[in-house]
């Protein structure tokens, strides 16, 4: 009999310092696909769902399609959103089950209104439905905050190994193949999770340069060989979550009787701690970045500036104005900025029409304390619908919709204004709106690290700006943690 395998995904990276709740509409805006919609939207993409679907073909499994939901990082997931997405997944089991296995795409850092540990809540509902003997394979982002309970509810748990995350399909393949071996009776996997005594680790997981993350992954591969492990994952953690279990973890998957699993996990955890202060990037002020950009950025080799502290990919509002203000005040030329979250200004541009000249108060509307709006006189250079497909290495082929878009020209700077929050990690965030990024001298992106996958090949140099004007700043002591375990580094001396 052909095995039936449930395929589902429910992802969110929750920044508990955000005042913006993650609603059902948040999922519908970025991507909520139910049943066969999953196949239509995600087949052939660089995503875990596509990897799971390909595994079904390779192993001759019948896929049972539940739902795949993903929302831009923000505040806690509302009860309606949580219940709706999990409801779609559980309904698929009721209508098409029983299933022989589960392949589940999670993020690892979901915090819901009623569940501090969102992942184990999702897993618990599925485990209750399928029973204790059905193997469950789970994929995680490497910025996961993983609990023991998640490990207990999973049979296989595998995290990304790249940041930017260009190995989503590959990670799903590893997970699915281990579940295939489990179904065949060749392995009896067990998950071991150990947590480090810190908020953040291994250079926040960066793999674009030699450093702690690459080194610990090499150690993980060595330990896999030495101890006969099935897999070993390292999670840098997601530090902008005010929950008890926040922080980096190591995950080892091994046969249940493998006595090497715990020693291997302990060795990896020691490495998390040993390298805690090592960083491969240095942040600079906007003033310093722009000074360098003027001298080094040219058409054909733009200087790229990342607005680290206000990264929508980590829950930032996407509308803080520190870097934007510096660019406007500095009179930059042949420059572009994408994307500033400002639906109010988009609407004003649409009312005025292409070519109109007007004054706008740009950004700074969600929380002006993080950077007040910037008053600027400019021209509406273009009006667009913000729908496009990613073409860069990360999540290749995935459809994006940032709502109505206006390009507002202020002197020599084109500012892409979006109606939905989104991290810029693909050149389509410019190209879809008539801006060829390679032809600009200076590019500014609302992103922290993912942008490097698509922008580094064209950049003369890259600068990362973190002046504290956002809720994804690495100045952790500026954040009002109330619920995390103490002591914890770097907030406390350990």
Q: Which two tokens stand for residue 428?
A: 């389509």
Cα distance between residue 169 and residue 47, in whole Å: 5
Q: Looking at the structure, do residues 265 and 379 belong to the same domain, yes or no?
A: no
Query: Which residues span the domain enclosing 61?
Result: 4-274
DSSP secondary structure string for all residues of 350-384: HHH-TT-EEEEEES--S-GGGS--EEEEEEEEEEE
Q: Looking at the structure, do residues 259 and 334 belong to the same domain, yes or no?
A: no
Q: Identify the CATH number of the domain in which residue 264 sits.
A: 3.40.50.2300
pTM: 0.95
- The answer to whether 254 and 192 have CB atoms below 8 angstroms apart is yes
Task: Note the pLDDT tens digit of each residue in 435-467.
Answer: 999 999 999 999 999 999 999 999 999 999 987
Average pLDDT on 54-83 reads 98
Task: Note the pLDDT tens digit of each residue in 75-123.
Answer: 999 999 999 999 999 999 999 989 999 999 999 999 999 999 999 999 9
pLDDT category of residue 494 using cuts at 50, 70 and 90: confident
Which residues make Cβ contacts (< 8 Å) with residue 302, sequence separation at least 6? 437, 438, 440, 441, 442, 443, 458, 459, 460
Q: Looking at the structure, do residues 311 and 381 belong to the same domain, yes or no?
A: yes
In a domain, 61, yes or no: yes
Q: Which residue has the tokens 């022989």?
A: 100
Q: Looking at the structure, do residues 290 and 256 belong to the same domain, yes or no?
A: no
pLDDT of residue 97: 83
Q: Which of 274, 305, 332 is the last residue before a domain boundary?
A: 274
Task: Note the pLDDT tens digit of each residue in 167-207.
Answer: 999 999 999 999 999 999 999 999 999 999 999 999 999 99
Q: Which two tokens stand for residue 69?
A: 């939901």
Q: Looking at the structure, do residues 171 and 40 belong to the same domain, yes or no?
A: yes
Q: Looking at the structure, do residues 207 and 312 belong to the same domain, yes or no?
A: no
In a domain, 485, yes or no: no
Task: Note the pLDDT tens digit of each residue in 18-40.
Answer: 999 999 999 999 999 999 999 99
Cα distance between residue 77 and residue 119, in whole Å: 12
pLDDT category of residue 47 using cuts at 50, 70 and 90: very high
In a domain, 112, yes or no: yes
- The answer to whether 137 and 210 have CB atoms below 8 angstroms apart is no
Q: Looking at the structure, do residues 217 and 289 belong to the same domain, yes or no?
A: no
Closest CA to 310 of 468, 477, 419, 142: 468
In a domain, 425, yes or no: yes
Q: Looking at the structure, do residues 292 and 237 belong to the same domain, yes or no?
A: no
Q: Looking at the structure, do residues 168 and 289 belong to the same domain, yes or no?
A: no
Q: Which residues pair with 418 in a beta bridge?
A: 341, 405
pLDDT of residue 1: 85
In the chain, how many domains are there?
2
Q: Looking at the structure, do residues 172 and 78 belong to the same domain, yes or no?
A: yes
Q: Is the pLDDT assigned to residue 420 strictly greater than 70?
A: yes
In a domain, 484, yes or no: no
Q: Looking at the structure, do residues 219 and 291 belong to the same domain, yes or no?
A: no
- The answer to whether 243 and 488 have CB atoms below 8 angstroms apart is no
pLDDT category of residue 470 using cuts at 50, 70 and 90: confident
Q: Which of 274, 293, 325 is the last residue before a domain boundary?
A: 274
In a domain, 185, yes or no: yes
Q: Phi first, then psi: what are they for 87, rounded to 5°?
A: -60, -40
| Strands 231-235, 249-255: pairing kind | antiparallel
Q: Which of 236, 255, 274 is the last residue before a domain boundary?
A: 274
Q: What angle do CA 258, 259, 265 make, to 5 degrees?
A: 100
Which of the 8 DSSP states describes residue 124? H
Average pLDDT on 374-388 reads 98
Residues in the chain: 494
Q: Looking at the structure, do residues 304 and 441 belong to the same domain, yes or no?
A: yes
Cα distance between residue 51 and residue 175, in whole Å: 9
Task: Note the pLDDT tens digit of each residue in 296-353.
Answer: 999 999 999 999 999 999 999 999 999 999 999 999 999 999 999 999 999 999 999 9
């Amino acid at each position: 009999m052909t095995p039936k395998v449930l395929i589902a995904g429910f992802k969110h990276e929750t920044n508990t310092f955000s005042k913006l709740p993650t609603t059902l509409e948040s999922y519908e805006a970025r991507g909520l696909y139910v049943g066969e919609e999953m196949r239509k939207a995600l087949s052939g993409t660089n995503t875990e769902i596509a990897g799971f679907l390909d595994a079904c073909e390779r192993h001759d499994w019948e896929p049972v399609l539940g739902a795949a939901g993903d929302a831009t990082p923000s505040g806690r997931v509302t009860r309606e959103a949580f219940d709706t997405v999990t409801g779609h997944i559980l309904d698929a089991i009721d209508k098409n089950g029983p299933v022989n296995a589960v392949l589940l795409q999670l993020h690892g850092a979901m915090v819901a209104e009623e569940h501090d540990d969102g992942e184990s809540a999702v897993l618990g509902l599925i485990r209750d439905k399928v029973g204790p003997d059905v193997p469950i394979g789970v994929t995680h982002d490497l910025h996961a905050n993983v609990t023991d309970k998640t490990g207990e509810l999973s049979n296989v748990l595998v995290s990304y190994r790249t940041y930017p995350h260009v190995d989503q399909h590959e990670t799903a393949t590893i997970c699915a193949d281990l579940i295939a071996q489990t179904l065949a009776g060749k392995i009896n996997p067990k998950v071991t999770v150990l947590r480090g005594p810190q908020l953040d680790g291994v250079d926040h997981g960066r793999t674009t340069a030699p450093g702690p993350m690459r080194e610990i992954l090499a150690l993980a591969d060595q330990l896999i060989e030495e101890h006969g492990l099935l897999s070993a994952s390292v999670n840098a953690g997601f530090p902008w979550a005010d929950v008890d279990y926040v922080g980096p973890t190591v995950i080892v998957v091994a046969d249940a009787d493998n006595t090497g699993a715990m020693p291997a996990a302990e060795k990896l955890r020691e490495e998390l701690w040993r390298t805690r202060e090592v960083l491969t990037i240095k942040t600079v002020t906007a003033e310093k970045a722009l000074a360098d950009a003027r001298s080094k950025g040219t058409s054909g080799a733009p200087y790229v500036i990342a607005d680290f502290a206000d990264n929508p990919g980590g829950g930032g509002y996407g509308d803080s104005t520190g870097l934007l203000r510096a660019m406007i005040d500095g009179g930059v030329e042949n420059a572009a900025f994408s994307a500033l979250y400002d639906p109010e200004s988009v609407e004003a541009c649409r009312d005025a029409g292409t070519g109109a000249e007007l004054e706008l108060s740009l950004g700074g509307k969600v929380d002006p304390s993080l950077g007040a709006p910037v008053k600027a006189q400019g021209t509406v250079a273009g009006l667009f619908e913000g729908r496009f497909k990613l073409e860069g290495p990360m999540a290749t082929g995935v459809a994006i919709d940032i709502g109505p878009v206006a390009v507002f020209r202020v002197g020599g700077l084109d500012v892409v204004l979006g109606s939905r929050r989104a991290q810029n990690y693909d050149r389509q965030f410019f190209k879809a709106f008539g801006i060829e990024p390679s032809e600009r001298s200076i590019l500014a992106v609302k992103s922290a690290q993912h942008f490097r996958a698509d922008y580094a090949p064209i950049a003369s140099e890259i600068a990362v700006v973190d002046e504290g004007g956002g809720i994804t700043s690495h100045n952790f002591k500026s954040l009002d943690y109330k619920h995390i375990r103490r002591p914890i580094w770097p907030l406390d001396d350990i």
